[in-house]
């Protein structure tokens, strides 16, 4: 693990908190906005925010996206490994 990796959000809840803080809170004191953050820009970078909406197989191939991925994740959380 990189020495700076501890700074990254650990899960989706943390990632959303950081995004909300940046867009609604602390960043405003520098007169910046999130107006330029379009849906597609955010969608392209969700993996780096800890908010992936895809499910991958063992080889790294995408096997589900969007709502289907969410359903699979919720189903898998209920299963005991």
pLDDT tens digits, residue range 21-79? 777 655 555 555 666 666 666 666 666 666 667 777 888 787 887 778 778 778 877 76
Phi, psi (deg, nearest 5) at residue 55:
-120, 135
Q: What is the pLDDT of residue 78?
A: 72
CA distance 31 to 16: 21
- 16 vs 48, which has greater pLDDT? 16
- Cα 53 to Cα 47: distance, rounded to the nearest angstrom: 8
| Closest to 36 (Cα-Cα) out of 69, 73, 45 | 45
Sign of dihedral through CA atoms 40, 43, 48, 51? positive
């Amino acid at each position: 693990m990189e020495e700076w990796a501890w700074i990254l959000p650990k899960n989706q809840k943390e990632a959303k908190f950081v995004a909300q803080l940046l867009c609604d809170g602390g960043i405003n004191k520098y007169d910046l906005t999130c107006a330029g953050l379009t849906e597609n820009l955010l969608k392209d970078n969700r993996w780096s925010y800890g908010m992936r909406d895809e499910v991958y197989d063992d080889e790294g191939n995408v096997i589900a996206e969007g709502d289907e991925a969410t359903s699979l994740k919720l189903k898998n959380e209920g299963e005991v490994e």
